[in-house]
Amino acid sequence: MSRAFLDASVSDIVQQLTTDEKIQLLAGPNWWNTNAIDRLGVPAVRMSDGPNGVRGSSHFVPTPAQCLPCATSMASTFDTDMLFQVGALLGEEAKIKSSVILLAPTCNIQRNPLGGRAFESYSEDPHLSGIMAAAYVDGLQSQGVASTIKHFVGNDQEHERTAAESVMSDRALREIYLYPFMLAQKKARPWAFMTSYGRIKGVHCAENPMLLQDILRKEWGFNGIVMSDWFGTYSVDHAINAGLDLEMPGPPRWRTPLLIGHLLSCQKIKESTLDERATHMLNFVQRQARRNPEVVFGDGKERSRDSPEARAFCRRLAAEGMVVLKNEGELLPLKEGKVKTIALIGPNMKDRIISGGGSAALKATYIVTPYAGLVENAPKGVEFKYEVGCYSFKYTPTLEAFLETPSGEPGWLCSFYNHDGNGNPTGESVQDYVLQDTRIKLNDFLPTGLTKTWTIKLRGSLTMDKTAEYQMGLTVAGRAKLFVNGEMIIDNWTKQRPGDFFYGQGTVEEMATISLTAGKPVDVMVEYTNTKPPSGPESDRSQPALMRGVRLGGCEKVDPEEALAAAEKLAAESDAVIVVAGLSPDWESEGFDRPTLDMPGRQNELIARIGRVNPNTVVCLQAGSAVAMPWVNEVNGIIQAWYSGNEVGNALADVVYGAINPSGRLPLTLPVRVQDIPAYPNFKSEDGQIHYREDLFVGYKGYQSRDVKPLFPFGHGLSYTTFSFSDLIVSPASIVKGPDFEVDVTVTIANTGSMTGSEVVQVYVSLPDIGLATPKLQLRGFTKVRNIALGESKTVTVKLDKYAVSWWDAVGQQWKAAPGTYGVHVGRSSAAMELEGEFVLEEAFAWVGL
Ligand code: BGC
């Protein structure tokens, strides 16, 4: 394609576009591209998920990528420089996948740690979320790749996500939920926004003029594009008139020439509005093409890369995101000479858990499991023994590591077949693919030349390395059956039971048991079809047009009592124990929320029993958000490891063995019980509404207002050294006039311990009495003070501005600040203040905008 478009006048192009072409620009042709208008030289641009890696444009045959830690882990670094580097790295990853738009970052609020996508959002705190998001956006856009900040706004849980209205006060909307987006817009100006699925003030966000026009464009001066979440456009004229530029994915459900043409003719949509949306799209595509001509006019290929620099960065990022919650008796770090034997235990120890599930999940170039990382990086002279202890999976583990194709390649062979008139597979396969995953997602990919209904057959030979009974599991969106050596052992075809998988559109996992002999292959074949079951409720439920997929899993059948007892025995015999436990992408994902804070399976019992026989136990928790820890007093070490990406094992080893001095701090409060969470019990959508009754008192603000002690407070995290805080100076002490002022909060941090380390300075502000219920402390500034050597002091300054003193005046629809004395509380967590100061605001002021 010629590059003349780079210098073309957008208004000239708009004049030349036919109505149908304008309509084409407002939707995608497929899941991941915008439409090109070849006649006028307008190229297509490609987008990709986001946020902890760049997945690329196929779930089915993914091009592997670096998998970075999840957002809660990133936020735990409290380090904006690192987040900038994250963005820059992802920008490069996007471009090698021929993509110039990343669908990230997610900056919804963790009002409820049970939210299915809590792992994908930074924090319960709007300031931390917004500052981290801005740094990420800046880094990404420094590479010319557009950030699509999401989900604007109020997608804070998954239950009934496309229907639910997030019911909240104007203050909560402004001061908590819009706040991260507002900060990101002020500091980094993302080039695209993605609307959220649900409703605000009764109106779906994708057709909400208050959000898209009044706030985003008019108040905040946004001039990029607004796109819908996937299948999150629910109307033609409402969405177009409200300001939604792009319906995704394509082909569109709504933006067809027929529908829009009709609404133009009856003047529900004006030609000028259509022109405005098309102009936004063209400006955006032109800017992205100018920034990345080699990508936009390039070969469109997707590539992987795996450099030592990227590996080292991801390892450091993951390690810096880990939060040491507890370290009794200085059990950690397990340095050379401290222990001779270590028991490695837990369901996640050998598993390949690198991220949460849903659209954030991706195929990694490689994975260092906790087991591999802990063994390979161990100090000299340590001996390891392993026991699983218990299982905790929701779906049996995938089996690609044990499969070979009929021609001997790793993985299995996926063949597509057309159907005859009776819906039966016929003839030769249309296409064959070798796949290295037993989770097959077909929502964004199908080979060309298929009949409307079709079949795939997945074939491989399965060889296990232990003679045992195995439980096999089959889950499907569509219909599937499993054959082993020609015999059908699972029928998820004729009768189906609805389940959570595939964004809530799949079945439960159907199980069967088989005996396998070590080293002796068996033939495995999964047959899948997109035809609907003949009748019954599932017939309507399976929506093959939206989500199609099948998942095969299997694992050794273990006796739960024996597995627990073996782990307990091993723990008792060892000098120290490392348990890797927690959740997985099957438990934390899109389309559903977690039902409980408890970890699945018998993990709590396992840890309690191990801790009782050997308190020198370090529990490493893989979870995107909070889990209950009823065994907290039984073990001496706890590390919140989140989902750490593909360097998880190395990063964990760096923290456990002390190759780095940990400096992660909690970006959310960890509760003792679910009832203590301020949003409790208002987690779910009821009659189409989620009531945000905790209002401004989200997270630590709610615990503080009700004087509820959390398990571990927001901002908490231990180091292997100690620090002292001193010499707080708040300057100026008095502000005569707002809103354009700055207050410097200067503080000195000294390393008083035994090892170089980094500390996070957290600055909380308390407002004078403004006559409205307001949280006692609000995080308004922070900085990471890096590498303070033993005996060294560093003096740092955190700046506060009008955002630190303003609240939303719902009556006047503006930000306001009151005269009075403002407390400045400098702490190491929201519950551990070290220094107190104040400044005075002499005069009230009000403002709108950014
Ligand atoms: C998610 C978005 C994502 C999109 C594309 C949706 O299900 O909510 O965050 O970007 O899918 O994968």
- Give the per-residue pLDDT at 790: 95
Percent of all residues in the chain with a pLDDT value above 70, rounded to a whole number: 98
- Give the per-residue pLDDT at 535: 56
- E-strand stretches of 452-548: 454-462, 468-477, 479-484, 487-492, 510-516, 522-529
Lowest mean pLDDT among 197-206, 326-335, 497-506, 593-602: 497-506
Average pLDDT, the chain: 96
The string of pLDDT tens digits covering residues 610-621 is 999 999 999 999
Q: Which atom of ligand 1 is nearest to 106's Cα?
A: 9
Find out whether 552 and 438 touch, Cβ atoms under 8 Å: yes
Residue nearest to atom 4 of ligand 1 (CA): 230
Residue nearest to atom 11 of ligand 1 (CA): 230
Of 30, 46, 49, 362, the residue with max ligand 1 atoms within 8 A of its CB, to mutate for a pocket test, comes to 49
Find out whether 195 and 212 touch, Cβ atoms under 8 Å: yes
Cα-to-centroid distance, 475 and ligand 1 (Å): 21
Q: What one-letter code names the amino acid at 498?
A: P
The string of pLDDT tens digits covering residues 353-375 is 999 999 999 999 999 999 999 99
Could you tell me which residues are beta bridge partners of residue 65?
Answer: 364
Residue nearest to atom 6 of ligand 1 (CA): 230
The values of phi and psi at residue 833, to 5°, are -85, 135
Q: Which atom of ligand 1 is nearest to 161's Cα?
A: 8
Domains and CATH numbers, the chain: 43-251 (3.20.20.300), 308-394+559-657 (3.40.50.1700), 400-556 (2.60.120.260), 723-847 (2.60.40.10)
- Give the per-residue pLDDT at 542: 41
Of 54, 99, 103, 157, the residue with max ligand 1 atoms within 8 A of its CB, to mutate for a pocket test, comes to 103
Catalytic residue among 156, 229, 676, 695: 229
Find out whether 76 and 655 touch, Cβ atoms under 8 Å: no
The string of pLDDT tens digits covering residues 614-650 is 999 999 999 999 999 999 999 999 999 999 999 999 9
Query: Is the CB of 165 within 6 Å of ligand 1?
Result: no
Cα(156)–Cα(161) distance, integer angstroms: 9
Cα-to-centroid distance, 356 and ligand 1 (Å): 13
The answer on pLDDT for 540 being more than 80 is no
How much is the average pLDDT of 35-39?
A: 98
Query: Is the CB of 150 within 6 Å of ligand 1?
Result: yes
Q: Which atom of ligand 1 is nearest to 148's Cα?
A: 10
Query: Is the CB of 586 within 6 Å of ligand 1?
Result: no
Cα(400)–Cα(169) distance, integer angstroms: 49
Q: Which atom of ligand 1 is nearest to 150's Cα?
A: 9
Smallest CA-to-CA distance from 640 within 119, 53, 253, 54 is with: 119
The values of phi and psi at residue 177, to 5°, are -85, -40
Greatest Cα pair distance in the chain? 83
Cα-to-centroid distance, 823 and ligand 1 (Å): 41
Query: Is the CB of 694 within 6 Å of ligand 1?
Result: no
CB contact set of 90 (below 8 Å; sequence gap of 6+): 53, 54, 68, 102, 104, 139, 140, 145
Could you tell me which residues are beta bridge partners of residue 414?
Answer: 433, 458
State the distance between the two ends of the chain, measured CA to CA, in whole angstroms: 40
CB contact set of 28 (below 8 Å; sequence gap of 6+): 34, 35, 246, 247, 248, 249, 250, 251, 252
Distances (CA, A) of 377 to 99, 279, 381, 481, 580: 36, 55, 12, 43, 16
State how far Cα 446 lies from the chain centre. Answer: 26
Cα(639)–Cα(582) distance, integer angstroms: 11
Sign of CA dihedral 535, 536, 538, 539: positive
The string of pLDDT tens digits covering residues 128-161 is 999 999 999 999 999 999 999 999 999 999 999 9
Given pLDDT bands bounded at 50, 70 and 90, which one contains residue 536? low
The strands making up 617-622's β-sheet, listed across from edge to edge, are 323-327, 637-640, 617-622, 576-582, 341-345, 383-387
Q: Which atom of ligand 1 is nearest to 120's Cα?
A: 9
- Give the per-residue pLDDT at 532: 77
Cα(144)–Cα(288) distance, integer angstroms: 7
Distances (CA, A) of 471 to 273, 330, 439: 58, 42, 17
The answer on pLDDT for 347 being more than 60 is yes
The string of pLDDT tens digits covering residues 695-706 is 999 999 999 999
Query: Is the CB of 590 within 6 Å of ligand 1?
Result: yes
DSSP H helical ranges for 574-688:
603-613, 648-656
Residue nearest to atom 7 of ligand 1 (CA): 230
CB contact set of 804 (below 8 Å; sequence gap of 6+): 743, 765, 780, 781, 822
Clarify whether 229 is annotated catalytic: yes
Q: Is 774 helix (H, G, I), strand (E, B) or coil?
A: coil
Of 32, 359, 546, 593, the residue with max ligand 1 atoms within 8 A of its CB, to mutate for a pocket test, comes to 359
Q: Which atom of ligand 1 is nearest to 358's Cα?
A: 7
The pTM of the full predicted model, rounded to 2 decimals, is 0.96
Query: Is the CB of 103 within 6 Å of ligand 1?
Result: yes
Cα(362)–Cα(59) distance, integer angstroms: 8
Residues in the chain: 850
Residue nearest to atom 9 of ligand 1 (CA): 359
CB contact set of 10 (below 8 Å; sequence gap of 6+): 279, 282, 283, 286
Query: Is the CB of 32 within 6 Å of ligand 1?
Result: no
CB atoms near residue 301 (< 10 Å): 9
Q: What one-letter code names the amino acid at 318?
A: A
